Every structure is written in structure tokens, then in C-alpha cells.
Amino acid sequence: MSSLIREPSDVSRRRFLQVMGASMALASASGCHWETEEILPFQRRPEGRVPGTTRRFATSIECSGVAASLLVTSYDGRPIKIEGNPLHPLDRGAASARSQAAILDLYDPDHSRGLVQAFEGASYPRSWKEFDPWFAGHMAQVRARKGAGLRILSEPSSSLALASLRTRLAELHPQARWVEWEPCARTNKIAGSKLAFGRALRVQPRIEQVNTLVCLDADLFGLHPAALANARAFAARRRPEEAQPLRLWVVESSLSLTGAAADQRLALRDEQILPFLLALEARLAGGKAADGLFLESLADELLAQRGAALIAVGPRQPAAVHALAHRINANLGNTGKTLLYSEESDPAGVMELGELAREMEAGAVETLVVLGGNPVYDAPCELEFRRALRHVPLALHLSHYRDETSRACTWHLPRAHALESWGDCASWDGTRCLQQPLIDPIFPRRTPLELLGAICEAKLGAPELVRACVAPGASDEQWKKILHDGFVEGSAARPVEAALASFSVPAPAPRALAKELRNGELELVFAPDRNLYDGRSANNSWLQETPDAITKMTWGNAAIFAAETAAALGVEDSTLVKLKLGTRELEVAATVLPGQATGSITLHLGHGRSAAGLVGGLEQENIETVGFDAYRLRSSDALDRAGSLEVMPTGKSWQLARTTDPAVTDSIGRKQMEGLVEELARVRTLADFRKEPGSERESEHESLWNKPVAEGVRWGMAIDLNSCIGCNACALACQAENNVPVVGREQVIRGREMSWIRIDRYFTGPERSPRVRFQPLTCQHCESAPCEEVCPVAATMHSAEGLNDMVYNRCIGTRYCANNCPFKVRRFNYFNYHKAIEAEGAEVQRMLYNPEVTIRHRGVMEKCTFCVQRIQAAKIHAKNEGRAPADGEIVTACQQTCPTQAIVFGDLADPKSRVARLHAESRGYAMLAELNIGPRTTYLEKLVNPHPALEEHDG
Amino acid sequence: MSEAQGALHSLVAEFDDVDGVSAAARAVRDAGYKAFDVYSPFPIHGIERSMGLRATRLPWLVLACGLTGTVLALFFQWWTNGHDYAFKISGKPLFGVPANIPITFEFTVLLAAFGAFFGMFVLNRLPEHHNPLFENERFRRATDDGFFLAIEARDAQFHERATRELLQSLTKHTVVACHESGESRALPVWVRASMAGAGALALVPLAAIVAARYRDSTQAPFHLIKDMDSQTRYRAQAANPFFADGRAQRPDVAGTVEFDRFRTDPALLTGRAGEAFVDQIPLSVTAELMQRGRTRFAVYCTPCHGGAGYGDGLVAQRAATLQEQAFVPPASLHDPLVRARPAGQIFDTIRNGVRSMPAYGRQMSIEDSWAIVAFVRALQRSQNASVEDVPDAERGRLGTR
Amino acid sequence: MTASATTKVRLDEPYHRPLLIEGAEDLASVTNRVCGVVERPKPPRAWYIAITISGSMTLMLGAMVVYLISTGVGVWGNNAPAFWGWDIVNFVFWVGIAHAGTLISAILFLLRQKWRTSINRAAEAMTLFAVCCAGMYPAVHVGRIWVAYWLFPVPNQMQMWPNFRSPLLWDVFAVSTYATVSALFWFMGLVPDLATLRDRATTKLKRVLYGFFALGWRGSARHWQRFERAYLLLAALATPLVLSVHSVVSFDFAVSQVSGWHTTIFPPYFVAGAIFSGFAMVVTVMVPARELFGLKELVTLRHLENMNKVILATGSMVGLAYATEFFIAWYGGNPYERFTFVNRAFGPYAWAYWIMIFCNVVVPQFFWSKRIRTNLWLMVVVAILVNVGMWFERFVIIVTSLARTYLPSSWGYFKPTWVDVCTFAGTIGLFFTLFLLFCRFLPMVAIAEVKTVLPAAHAHKENGHE
């Protein structure tokens, strides 16, 4: 997939004669006969395998030591789509955008395909056959020295199998040390709980119990390891029929998904959150009226909601803030009701990365085995990890990609993809998840378990080891059950009693920065990217091109400024600025975003990879890096934020590949936009709704012709804006399901992105505390679709079931339909965006395609089909059983993965169907109904629940 | 001046101005000539009256063409969109006049214009690249500033001398005779040859198409621009040269368990409880199940075991006639030993085979296997029944007392 | 009939207005003058320079089309939401240009405007060439050019038919009909003049070539009678056709949902604009042409001035249309419509809008002054500005409306690529190349028709009428 995105960008640069030649070649090379397809069945078909049908397997994938439980669809034994595991207690069928995108990595041509040994500056391809005996010999020597000089650098993992190997390693190599590094670790949380309780504890929020949810820089619905479950619970508590609907208070420096969903949001500089919380605690303890109406009202509500409130703190906040939050929660009696504590893995006895770096510099490390991770890229900059590695005679890096670290080590070992691996891991609630492969490694790749097994001469192979560790003494039947479910039932961690220790938090010296912005004392906040996380997904073109939920930015990051800050510093949107921290400088793009705290600048991690691959950037092959590498400014003493930032505008302009905003920079546009948004993406306060439930709907005007009455099924959709949190999961699901191509940065800048479902994001209200509206937009399959009547060749028409069908091979590409579509959901193939994948040598990449969906070529229009292939599959299935498909049996890709179940699909003709009932709901309205196009999608108003006092204060 | 070789065509008088030729035209008309004509570099107004010409029928032709256009266009649009290729477009009626007006109008104009243009030339008998008048050098002024009047020899009144005198009396220029040219009016040989050649060449592609139409070919049809017709996604059981076995479909990974196709009941899956075979069919035996069993039995079992299960299926018979030594004759299902077997064992045999009987586990579902077991049980019962087994009501029909 | 008309013409316009044809022209001299251009052994050097430039631009056009077809529509600036860009802008622009020709020949003919005779031939030629340029765009702007023929109702084994509800299909029929009828009209008028050239031909080759296309015309009165009738009928047919073509083109927009397009004023507005731009182009081309080929006596100042008057009139109509649009947008109270127009005038595309207003509304007003109307240089400048303005009108209508439609989330901005620019330049090259060839090899003025307005053409004694 990845390399295909180079194509269009090249085209613009391609020289003319080449093209002439190419076109001639194209004509001749392709031959002039129909291609003949051959069918290759198995001699002995495995039981339960029916050609042309899909099968599903439960497995899981681990990120930062937390599992996501997945259900993977496999076609002909090829995994083609990742969904959430419906049985899993937390995920319940939902999967995050990043989990779903993992399928792309499996077939990514950059995903490492062989061993590489670096020797005297040159690198040589190697095979395991060569490696294994040599390595065994080497390890024997190491063992003779009791493992002196052996260091294992690993990502934190919740795998029991890995743990068991680790203990065995300790026996075999007593001198060896185990090191863990994770750029976005939970260090602060653990430290906080230790401060509050003297032990490492993990907070298990029980949002279904919460009436007042306070998030201090905590992105519960975005980056939190249990975001899916949190979001689902949140959405459930927001339903208008809820007697006591939840109110969400957010205090943060930069808009997060949680902040976007907030009823009351306060943009506060990161470093101001500790003072804020101190003030709050003081006020709750009956102290005098603290400063600020916000804090006042919050305190009152917290007191009123004793035992039904929850104060959550984000991982970036220092230990003190976490400790305070624990204490407040305890004092308000929330503990045990709105949140539970469970054991958190305590990294005690694990070596710090810094210590390791020093050892390496000192030459004390002879053999360094790096299991995953990419420290050369993401280690604190002052450690100079790349330089340190030069002092290590033998450094092996087991990784998915031949990344920065691999290239700095003496050996790169290809790591098997999660869908090729046996393993185990635990989800946030401690549930033990299984990892079973869906396909034998496509290339000779290995898992950390296998490599570590080799190091400590494990007797068991990976599958046996996993079984032995996860389900010792389980019968075959029980084991099969576990594999079938994908997790061990009822293995969630038990809640533990947490006794509060007494501690005091000194108030930090307040800096009077809020008012006048003193350059050089600005705050720089490092946040993991919502799509690329810490950078591990930087070579995933799907995630690169999925617009960031808030900034709507693709292909790169930018330093986020508040309008005030930008004005004060003379920084403009889409320009380059220089960020200076002490002696370190970095030139990055700047963007201005509402809801950003004044004086606080946020920069997302995970971009600017120099050796990610053809997508994320590869210096060695002159493929420019995407975005800017924030790690260059990130040092151990300021992993989360730095307080002494200096910003210097350079005046150079920089194109940001955004999918919306750039068009609306003029006052007229903004005014119109704000006017329209009230109509298009409707928001009302819960109070208003309760007073007057009906949302006013545009009366359809009288039709000029008598519309034919549709009989039979009428497929339709309902999207609840009240539930949507803009997490992009649906976008990824659609991309994977429908073979939606990636077009690349230049094309996105030209406005030619191909996404079939896009999430419109609007800001309204005051710049500092904007109201954020998300609106997922697919084809509305209008009853009298404007696109159909204008197509000169009838390439788009209505199906018997009322779908607005797009007939690709009839389309000649006049693009008239797209002009006439008021929703602009139609996408045109300006080039053949699949060219690279159809080229020779891309056989593996092609395995990703959903065989049930046509691949569209250049010159044809395409758009959301309501997943017609899924509709047909369900209908066939039902027909085989001699019945009609039941309501809820047909599930579109976007609906399936939506964690908050904001999307519902079904038959409008059946009044009992869920979708029909939602269409009838009082919150329902159709977009642009006044155009008489009769959209088949009904949106349900978003209801916000602002604090009365603050509401009138704002308005 | 062409010397008179061919027959006389006409007598031509030349004039200097409009008045002269008009006057002459009237005179000739009055003299009762019909087959005469006036030639001028531009249309002379009123000349048709002077010559006594009738108005042209052209307008009627044009009207006819126009109306044809209207009808054709309307009908065609109705037939295509309203009838032959009727599709729901924007929820509009299949046929609505307003949307068809523009094209109807354009087509009307088009055909009418054709009528006017071609009608004019046809009625004028043009193109006529050769005409005896062209032989006359001076006549070329007819397209510049000369005016001519020619009386043709075919006119009934034509009498060479009298006519010449009449004309001469009208003009000061000398009247000249115009003769059919001697040289044939046919095109030169090379022109005809090349035209014939071109015509022949034009037929070649047509002939090729016809030939192709009626010839069988092992080759795939021609397909120049493949567009989306060549899809690179791997459909079911497609080929993928990347893998050693050349298949795009991959085998299952050993030890994995598929989702929602997972059952634990050992009796159902293996026909055993612990080590021993179960004797109860672990499904509820219903009429449907029996029916299913009968059809499955007919498909999978009868070839060897025979319709009634006596091991006399077609295969067995054939083997017997061929006296195949190696062939192990299928067991009769009514053999006491077989009848004694517990249901689970029969199930196991079906799933995993026995002796030369192959395993059918891969080919049929667990339920189908049990259905067959149920049917076999019924079969066995039926072949070993006593009168007591028949309900009293039915006995009469057995004809036994 | 016509004769009397002409006499009337000559009576009621005695000496205060210049005659249609200046100088002492008689039949032969007219022939010589017009045919002289074609028969002269060498055209002026300027002709060579011009055709070299335009010819190379035409070649560039070919190159651009190859590049486009081989690579994809993406080489143009079209994007989402502006799925149409310069391609359709240029299409409408050229179709507009194409209107003057048939209008002059047909409508002015019906209105008995004798002064048309000297310019209609060249104008009709322009029509054809402009249609060539216009017709190219719809053909190559589609995504899959190789199946563009599906636009026509070609019988096929799939029994698929085009969708006759689509304005785009109306457009296909309208433009192709227009092209065909204009060609017939033009050729028919050409036949007698070709005969003249045939009869004056000095070389065998010329005689055969011209002779072949002259179809054996010999000026027979019987022929002339039908010829005139056919010509009248064609004129009568062409007149509504001209009006219909740009109306149908305007339907492409008026019938759609897009605010800024969806308006009933478009048909008359487009037709006025088309005549406007068409006449401007005729002036732009004829002024140098008559200088170059010494046709001052045939194409007189009066002809040019009349055309300038038409430009002034239609220009004012166009201005009125702009005003009406705005008024209706405000009065109609549709927020989307209203925004579209405010956005045109003050949004990101304001620059284009004000260029349009200046060139199309302000500039023509100079023609109120007779001095400017009759000054060759000034009128050319004005005409060119009008052409520029009309191009921008189409740009404003198409691009600004598309760039910001209903959902603010999908608003965008259109930027052309170098391919857009070169393609457009190429069509200009094509247009002038064809026109230059026409000037060189075909009679630029309708000889036979001009003769009919000469004194010599009319019987002096009124005995023509009995």
C-alpha cells in the first residue's frame, strides 16, 4: 500500500517525454487480450473452509503493555480486516483506528523481510540459518560469563510468557540486566499512586457510575488504554433519557477528544493544573471561595455529587497531581464507586534507559538485545542513544521495520507481525488476552518470545509456552475455548483496597505568565500523536492520511498555538517557526487552533521519522521525512513538558495538508460557516431539549413531480451526533473494508483525498473555549439524488432497495455528479491511485485488498456504498436459511467498529427496526432537507449539559 | 469556343447587365421556350418571374424533415429511458416531456437543416462537375460579372436558326452554340481505379469482423484498455506467484481456533463419550432431520451401499462384474454386526472412514453426518421389522391376517 | 421582395450614412478584390509570423492532450470541491465566441441587415473554429476519454443508453447540432464563391480542388432560386438554434443544485454574454484582417461601428444580468445563494469578480462615444478586454460557485496547473491557425452576396416587377 502514495506526487513532477513514452508502453505492455484467471483449489479442503466465504479469528495486539482484543476477518486464509472482539468485556467489538490500521503493516513492503547485519559501515542481508548457529555459540560464551555485559532492552509488556522467559533468563544469566523503555509510559501515574498509596496501582474508571466527570489533561476517550470502553460508557450516560446525565468537565492545555466532548472546558497551561487542583482541594476542604467561577461551580458540583464524581488525571501530569486526585477521590467517597484500583505492574528492579546509556558509553555492555521499540528515535535526546550504541560490539534489534535503531545496531532481526504471532497480553482491566496467528509468517520473521526463547534455551515453542503460562493445566477443550474467545474468561484483575498514605504537595512557585506572554518562558507540551502514537505507526499510510480528529491535519504535525499566543509572538498559521529549548533548536510548522491554552504550545510526537520507510520517510533513499521530530527537543528532565520555550518566527511559509480549514480564512467565510453549522451539525443544551424535545425540521417543499412510492426494503442510516466523539475508528474501518486508496500529501493539499466517510469538525463559540462538533458524513443515498439526474450515462442510479449505486465500469468521469452533490461525499480518481500495487512485485501488498470490493481505477467516481457487499453477503446468508435478513444483521463497517455505537444501519421500511425508530426520534433531522433531496441518513442532535452558572456566564 | 464535335447542347447568349438579361428572359419566355436558363454571378431579383418559374417545393421538404426529427427524437427518448433501459433516476418518473424538450428541439433543427441543405442540392441536380456550358471560355464570367441566357436543344420549340435569330436579336454579343463535349464524361481511369481500391480496402475491416464473428478462437477476446476489468485483488482460490505453492489462499495455522464455529460437546463432534461410542443421536431426531438424512444418504452412501443399504450399490455391482480382487465389498448395513454398532460408531465411520471407505468428514457438516446416522437407523429398522411393528390400523393393508 | 427591400434601403439612407461598400466598386472589382487575396502568390510576411506562432501553440495543445490522456485528469488543477475548473470554463468561453458567426449570418439576414454581407463569411468561419476549440474540452475533460463515445446513443450489446435527463447530454446534442448546422450554412454560402475561384483558377490543381467543392455551380437562375430559399430556411432554423445552444449550455448550471448556478436567469444571460463575446472576437479578428488583406472598402468602418454598437448593447445587458443576479440572491433570501454572491464579490475570488465587472460592464461603456467606436486601435483594445472579461465571467460562475457550496467542511480553493494554462493557450493557437488558413485559401468575404448590394445588382428600370 505504502509505496502507492508516491505515485501521484511524482506525476506532477514527471517530465513530459517520459509520460509520452509511458503511455505508449502502457498501451503495448498491457497486451490486447482479456486476462485469463486461474483457479487453484486445495487438493484437500480444510474442514469448514468454503471458498469465497470469510472466517474470523479472535486474537489481540499489544501497545504500551496494554492489549486490544481483536476479531480478524480472514478470506481464503488471508487476514483482510481487523475488528474488535465482541466478546471482550472492555472492547465489545470496537477497535481503535490504530488497531485496525495494523492490518496494513502486515503487507507493507517496508515491513522487514529479512535479517541485516551491519559490518564496518556496510550492511549485508543474512538468513536465520546463518544467524542461529552463530548466535547460539555466542550466547554460550555469554552464559559462561553468567551473562555479564548482556542487556535486554524491551518495551514494557504484559505478556506472561515473556515474563516467564525473563525469570528463566535471570537464572541462566544472573549478571544480565533487563531494561525497559517506552516513550509514552505510565511512569507518572505509577509514581502518583506510590505517593498516595505507597504502591503501584492502576485506576479502573467506572464511568457508568459517574455523574460528574472531571478530566485534568486526561484524554479518557482518546489515548487512554481503555478509551473504547470509556467512550462507550460515556455515550451511554449521555443519552437524553438518562435521569441524571453525566456532566463532563475538562481542564487541559490543548484540545483532546475528551476536551472536544466536554460540557465545561477550561483551557489551562499544563503546569497550571497542579495549582488548579490544589486550589480545588482547598475549596473542597471548605476553604474560602477560590478564584474563578469555573472552579467555584466545579467544587460545588463535586460536593453535591459525592460518591458519584470522578477526577481523572492524564499521564503527562506529575506524580503530585495524580496523588492529589487520588486523595480528592477518596475524600469525596468516589473510590470504590466511580473508580476501582487494581494492581499495576511495578517496574521496580528494571533498569532505567539512562543508566543503560551510561553503561554503553562506558563500554560495559557487550551484548545488547533490543526487543522492539525504537530508542534511537524516541529516547530522550540528551542520552545520544545512537552514539552510545557505537560502543556496543554486538547490538541486535528485533523490530517490524528496519528503523533508526536497526540501522544503528549491528544486527537487524525481522519481527513477526501480531497477526503472525503466538503470544499473550493483558488488557487494561487485566483480562488475559490470547494472540493466535492468522497466517504463517509471510517472510521469515520471529516474535520476541522466539528470540528470547533462543537466548535462554527455552524447551517449549511459542504456542506451547503461551499455553503453559496462560492456562496451565487447562484441558484441550478449555484451551480451545480460550483461543476461540481470544481471552481467558473472568481473568480481569481483582479490585484492591487502597489505603491512603498521608502526603503533602507543595504549591509550585506561580509564574505570572498567563497575562503577558514572555517568550523564553513559554510551555512546550509533548503529546503522543492521535494517529501515529509515539511514531511506531509512522509508516502506516492509512494513519498518515487519516486527518487528525481535531486539527484535521494529514501527513505531518505542527506546533499548536493559541490565537493570542500566535499574535503575541508574531507567529502565523502555516509558517515555520523555530522552537528553542536551552541549546536545542527545532524548526517546525506552526498552526493556530481554538481551545489551546495561552502560552502553551503543543507538539505531537511520532513524526519526522528518518528511517520509517517509503511512507514515513527514509533518508537513505531520499524520501523526505513527514512532519517534524519532536523527540529532538525531548529530554529526560522534561519528557512531558518544558517550561522555558523560546519561539522564533522564521517567516517561511509551510503547506499544511489539512482536509478542511485552510479554505476558510476570510471573515465572510467564517461568518457563513458559523451560521450554517447551527443548521448542519446541531447542538442544543439538554435543558432546552427537555423543555421542547422536537428539533425543528425543514418542511420538505412540494415536489414538482409525483415521487414513486418505494416498496420493499429501504436501507437507511442514523447517526447520533450525541454519541460521536470523532475518534476516526469508522474512517479506518471504511478504508480497510472498501479498498479506499491513499493519495499522498500533495494530493491531499490539492483536496483530492478519497475517504468515503469523513468526520466534519466545526468549532463554534469563543476562541478560548470553543464548542467542538463532529459530524461523520457518508453518502446520504438521497431518495431523489441530485447526482443521478445529471449523469449523462446513467452511471449512478437508484437500486431497487433505494441505494444510490455507483456503476464504476459505466462511469466516464464527467464529475458532474460530484458537482451536484450538496454533501460533497463523492470522490474522483484523478489518477490511478492503485498503480503501485498493480505493478510487478507487489503481490504481497495485494493480499490486503478486500476481494469483495472492486478496485477503482483512474477516471471514475466513487463513494460510500452503505457497504453493499456486506448487505449482499447478509442477504445471501439469510436466503440460504430461507428467511429475510433480521434487523441488525446487516452491519456496515463504520457501524461495526464505532465504540459509542453512534451509527445505526437498517431497513427504514420496517417500522420496528432500530434505524426506523431513530429516524422517528425527536432529535432527528436530515441535512439540507429543504433541497427536497430526501437524504436516507438522519442525524440526531447533540445534547450538551453545561453547568447553568457557567452557561449564562459564557453566553 | 469549343469546335463542334458532339451534339448541339444549347445556344448561349451573353449580356452585360441585369436589365439586358431580364428583358431577354421575358422575350424568350414569351416566345414559349421552356428549357432555357439564365446564368448570373448573383441571384437576380425578379428573374424567376421574368422566366416564369414556379416556386420551389423546398420548404415542404424541410417541414417534413423537421417533423420527422421531432417524432423520432421524442420516441427514441421515451423508448430508451422510459422503456428499454428504464432506471430509477433521482426518484423521477421514467418519462417526462420537459426533460426531453431540448434534445427534441435540437434534433428537429438538425434534420430540418439537412433537408434544406441536401434538398437544395438534390433539387438542383448538384453536384454536377461537368456541364457542356463549361466548355465555353467566356461562360466563366457567369461567376464573375457576366450574364448569360442559354436555350437548350432539347426544348420542343428549339430550331437552331430561328432560336439563334431570336437570341441574336436580344444581345449585342454573338450568340454561340454549345456542344456536348466529345470526350467521355466518365472520370479518368486512375481516379476510378483508386476509388475502387479505396472501396475494397474499406470492406476489409468489415470482412474481418464478419470472419471473426463466425470463427471459433481459443484466444481470449480482444481488450485494449483494461481499466477495471483486470482486478488485482485476489478472488477466491486465485493464484499468487509469490508463494511457493502459487496459491493466494493460505492454509490454516496449526492449533488456531476459528471464531463462532466452535463447539465443545464431544458426543456431537466425535460420537464418543470419553472412549466409548454414544448410542444416542445427540441431536433431536425430527422429520426434517430424517429427510435431510435420506437425501444425504442418497448422495454419499448409495453408490456403494445401495439404496436399501445391502451393500449392492452400483460401484459394488460393477466391481463384482469385473471381479475386482482388490475391491473390498461394502458392508451391508443390515448385517447383525453393523446393526449392533452404536450410533456413535456409525457416525465415526462416516466422519473418518473405515477400511477402504474414505472419510467424509471434510465434505459434510456434523449435522448432516448425524442425519445420515438417523436415516441408517431407520433403514435398519425397516428391513428387520416384524408384523408387530406395524400399527394395527395399517395391518389390513399388509394383506396378512 | 428583397429587391424592393434593397431599393428601400438605398432610398431611406441617402447620403448622411456611408454606403455599404465604399469606393467605386463594380462586379468585377469586387471579385478581383476578394479573390485577389486568395490568388496572390505570397501572403504578407505578417501572415507567416502569425501562423508560425499559432501553429506552434497548436502543437503544444496536442502535446498537452497526450499528456492529459496518458496521465489523468489530475494533471489539471481540478480538485474537490471544484470538480470542474478551466476545462469547462474554456468550453463555455469558446462556445460563447462561436455565437457571433451564425448570429450575424442568420439573425441579421432575417432582419434584412444588409451590412452583414461583408463580414458574415469570416464570422461564420470563426464560429466553426471556435466550436472546434470548444468541442475539444468536453471530449478530453472526462476521466475515461476512451469511452467518451458513450455520451452518444450508440447501440451496444449491453443495451445501455445514455440518460436523456442529464443537461450534459442536452449539451452534447446542442453543441454537435450547432456545429453541424453552422458548417452546412457556411459551406452553402461558400459554394458560389468557390465556383468563382474555380473559374478564375490559373493552375490545374486549383481548378480541380475548387471545382470539386464548387459542386459544378454555374449560377443558374433555377439554382439561385432554390439556393436563396434554402439559405432563408437555414437562417430561419439557425436563429432559434443559436439562441438554444447557449441556453442549453447554461442548463448545465441552471438545472443543477449548486447555489450560484441554480438560477433561471441563466439562458438569456448566457446568450447575451455569448453574443457580446462573439462580436468582440469578430472585431478583434476582422480589424487586423482587413488591414492585412486590403479589404477596407468591403469591410468598412460602418460595419465595425455597427458591431461595436452591438457590443455596447449586449455588454449593458450582461451588466444588467449581473445586477439582477445579485438582487435576486438578496431578495430570494436563500442563505446559501446569498452567501455565494457575497463570496464572489468579497471572498477569496474577489479579484476575478472585479476583473469581470471592469471588463464586461465598465469597458464597453466607452462605446457611447463615437470617437472610440470608430477608432480602430481603441475598439480592438476594448474588444480584447471584453474577451478577457467574458473568460473571467465563466471562471467566476463555475469556480467560485463550486469552491464554496453547501457544507463549509468541504470548501476549497481552485488553483490551475501549468497544464491548464498551456491547454488553453493551445486552443487559442488552434483557433488562429484555422482562421489564418481560412484567410489564405478561402474567400474571406461572401462575393456573391456583396454583389447583390452593389448598385449594379439592381434593375434600373423598374420593369423587374410586373
Q: E strands along A415-519, which residues?
A: 423-426, 432-435
Residue C11: what pLDDT? 33
Q: Show the cell assigned to A862.
A: 466513487
- Above 80 in pLDDT, residue C307? yes
CATH number at residue A170: 3.40.50.740
Q: Is B249 close to A42, i.e. CB distance below 8 A? A: yes
Q: Is B237 close to A41, i.e. CB distance below 8 A? A: yes
Residue A17: what pLDDT? 42
Regarding whether A724 and A609 lie in a shared domain, the answer is no
Regarding whether A867 and A927 lie in a shared domain, the answer is yes
Residue A505: what pLDDT? 86
Tell me if A797 is assigned to some domain: yes
pLDDT band of A290, cuts 50, 70, 90: low
Contacts of C457 in chain B (CB under 8 A): 18, 42, 44
| pTM confidence score | 0.89
Contacts of A19 in chain C (CB under 8 A): 66-67, 70-71
Contact (CB, 8 A) for B52 and B29: yes
pLDDT band of A698, cuts 50, 70, 90: low
Contact (CB, 8 A) for A277 and A321: yes
Task: Give strand pairing partners of A906.
Answer: A716
- Above 60 in pLDDT, residue B29? yes
In whole angstroms, how far apart are CA A946 and each of A250, A308, A309, A955?
12, 17, 16, 11
Question: By three-state DSSP, how is residue C106 classified?
Answer: helix
Regarding whether A749 and A814 lie in a shared domain, the answer is yes
Rounded to whole angstroms, the Cα distance separating C325 from C337 reads 10
Element (H, E) at C435: helix C418-441
Omega of the bond prior to A183 within 30 degrees of 0, cis?
no
Q: Is residue B166 packed enough to be buried (19+ CB in 10 Å), middle (13-18) or exposed (0-12)?
A: buried
Tell me if A851 is assigned to some domain: yes
pLDDT tens by residue, B102-123: 999 999 999 999 999 999 999 9
Q: Is B43 close to C452, i.e. CB distance below 8 A? A: yes
Torsion sign across C-alpha atoms A93, A94, A96, A102: positive
Regarding predicted confidence, which is higher, C340 or A31?
Answer: C340
- Above 50 in pLDDT, residue A16? no
Rounded to whole angstroms, the Cα distance separating B376 from B381 reads 8
Length of chain B: 401
Alpha helix stretches (DSSP H) within B183-265? 189-213
Q: Show the cell assigned to B320.
A: 463384482
The pLDDT mean for chain A works out to: 89
pLDDT band of A755, cuts 50, 70, 90: very high
Rounded to whole angstroms, the Cα distance separating A750 from A232 reads 36
Regarding whether A173 and A150 lie in a shared domain, the answer is yes
- Residue ranges per structural domain of chain B: 1-182, 266-383
pLDDT tens by residue, A428-444: 999 999 999 999 999 99
| A&C contacts, CB < 8 Å | 201
Task: Give strand pairing partners of A523.
Answer: A600
pLDDT tens by residue, B271-303: 888 888 888 888 889 999 999 999 999 999 999
Residue C460: what pLDDT? 57
Q: Show the cell assigned to C197.
A: 475561384
pLDDT band of A521, cuts 50, 70, 90: confident
Report the number of secondary-structure helices (H) and strands (E) in chain C.
19, 0
Regarding whether A921 and A797 lie in a shared domain, the answer is yes
Q: E strands along B215-292, which residues?
A: 272-273, 276-277
Residue B361: what pLDDT? 83
Which range marks the domain in which residue A313 is found?
A: 187-343
Closest CA to C391 of C87, C77, C93, C84: C93
Domain boundary among A302, A323, A343: A343
Regarding whether A163 and A231 lie in a shared domain, the answer is no
How many Å separate Cα A427 from the centre of its chain? 16
Contact (CB, 8 A) for A155 and A533: no
CATH number at residue A630: 2.40.40.20
Residue C50: what pLDDT? 94
Contact (CB, 8 A) for A227 and A205: no
Lowest mean pLDDT among A488-492, B372-376, C26-30: C26-30
Q: Is A816 close to C168, i.e. CB distance below 8 A? A: yes
- Above 50 in pLDDT, residue C65? yes
**Domains contained in chain C, CATH given:** 27-457 (1.20.1630.10)
Regarding whether A681 and A558 lie in a shared domain, the answer is no
Torsion sign across C-alpha atoms A100, A103, A109, A111: positive
Contacts of B258 in chain A (CB under 8 A): 48, 55-57, 484
pLDDT tens by residue, A317-365: 999 999 999 999 999 999 999 999 999 988 777 888 999 999 999 999 9
Rounded to whole angstroms, the Cα distance separating B112 from B118 reads 10
Nearest chain B residue to A856 by CA distance is B228
Length of chain C: 466
- Above 90 in pLDDT, residue A445? yes
Question: How is the beta sheet containing A78-84 ordered, strand by strand?
Answer: A54-63, A66-75, A78-84
Closest CA to A117 of A109, A107, A125: A125
Residue C19: what pLDDT? 52
Q: Show the cell assigned to B265.
A: 460437546
Residue B112: what pLDDT? 97
Nearest chain B residue to A803 by CA distance is B88
- Above 50 in pLDDT, residue A13? no
- Above 80 in pLDDT, residue A7? no
pLDDT tens by residue, A568-580: 999 999 999 999 9
Domain boundary among A451, A470, A489: A470
Tell me if A109 is assigned to some domain: no
Q: Is A822 close to C405, i.e. CB distance below 8 A? A: yes
Rounded to whole angstroms, the Cα distance separating B371 from B368 reads 5
Contact (CB, 8 A) for A94 and A725: no
Residue C7: what pLDDT? 37
- Above 80 in pLDDT, residue A288? no
pLDDT band of A514, cuts 50, 70, 90: low
- Above 90 in pLDDT, residue A370? yes
Residue C141: what pLDDT? 94
pLDDT band of B12, cuts 50, 70, 90: very high
Regarding whether A739 and A849 lie in a shared domain, the answer is yes
Report yes or no: C161 at the B interface, CB cutoff 8 Å. yes
DSSP B301: I
Residue B275: what pLDDT? 83
Regarding whether A263 and A211 lie in a shared domain, the answer is yes
Cβ-based neighbour number of residue B331 at 10 Å: 18
Contact (CB, 8 A) for A209 and A308: yes
* d(CA B29, nearest CA chain C) in Å: 14
Domain boundary among A290, A309, A343: A343
Total structural domains within chain A = 4
Rounded to whole angstroms, the Cα distance separating A352 from A129 reads 34
pLDDT band of A33, cuts 50, 70, 90: confident
Burial call A872-903: b when 16+ CB within 10 Å, e when fewer? ebbbeeeeeeeeebebeebbbbbbbbbbbbbb
- Above 60 in pLDDT, residue C18? no
Q: Is A855 close to B96, i.e. CB distance below 8 A? A: no
Residue A955: what pLDDT? 43
Lowest mean pLDDT among A841-845, A890-894, B263-267, C264-268: B263-267
Q: SS3 sequence, A68-87?
A: EEEEEEEECCEEEEEEECCC
Q: Show the cell assigned to A664.
A: 476558510
User: Who's near A641: CB < 8 A, 6+ residues apart?
Assistant: A270, A271, A316, A523, A524, A525, A526
Tell me if A32 is assigned to some domain: no
Q: Phi and psi of C196, rounded to 5°?
A: -55, -50
- Above 90 in pLDDT, residue C111? no
Regarding whether A221 and A354 lie in a shared domain, the answer is no
pLDDT tens by residue, A194-245: 999 999 999 999 999 999 999 999 999 999 999 999 999 999 999 988 888 8
Regarding whether A625 and A552 lie in a shared domain, the answer is yes
Q: Does domain B266-383 have CATH number 1.10.760.10?
A: yes
Report the number of secondary-structure helices (H) and strands (E) in chain A.
32, 40
Report yes or no: B218 at the C interface, CB cutoff 8 Å. no
- Above 80 in pLDDT, residue C24? no
Tell me if A775 is assigned to some domain: yes
* d(CA A656, nearest CA chain C) in Å: 14
The HSE-up count of residue A321 (CA atoms within 13 Å, CB side) is 25
Q: Phi and psi of A554, rounded to 5°?
A: -120, 165
Whether ipTM > 0.95 holds is no
pLDDT tens by residue, B314-332: 998 888 888 877 788 888 9
Regarding whether A223 and A155 lie in a shared domain, the answer is no
**Mean pLDDT in residue range A439-464:** 91
Tell me if A95 is assigned to some domain: no
Q: In this complex, which of A480, A847, A854 lies closest to B262 when CB atoms are compared?
A: A480
Closest CA to C2 of C232, C307, C237: C232
Nearest chain A residue to B361 by CA distance is A47
Cβ-based neighbour number of residue C202 at 10 Å: 8
Q: In this complex, which of A669, A750, A761 lies closest to C411 when CB atoms are compared?
A: A669
Regarding predicted confidence, which is higher, A199 or C456?
Answer: A199
pLDDT tens by residue, B368-379: 899 999 999 999
pLDDT tens by residue, A891-950: 999 999 999 999 999 999 999 999 999 999 989 999 998 888 989 999 999 999 999 888
Closest CA to A575 of A656, A653, A628: A653
CATH number at residue A246: 3.40.228.10
Q: Is C404 close to A751, i.e. CB distance below 8 A? A: no
How many Å separate Cα A952 from the centre of its chain? 36
- Above 50 in pLDDT, residue C116? yes
pLDDT tens by residue, C241-270: 999 999 999 999 999 999 999 989 999 999
Tell me if A79 is assigned to some domain: no
pLDDT band of C17, cuts 50, 70, 90: very low
Cell 507481525 sits at which residue? A417
Q: Phi and psi of A74, rounded to 5°?
A: -125, 130
DSSP A853: S
Residue B184: what pLDDT? 66
pLDDT band of C302, cuts 50, 70, 90: confident
Residue C115: what pLDDT? 81
pLDDT band of A715, cuts 50, 70, 90: very high
Residue B197: what pLDDT? 95
Rounded to whole angstroms, the Cα distance separating A584 from A279 reads 35
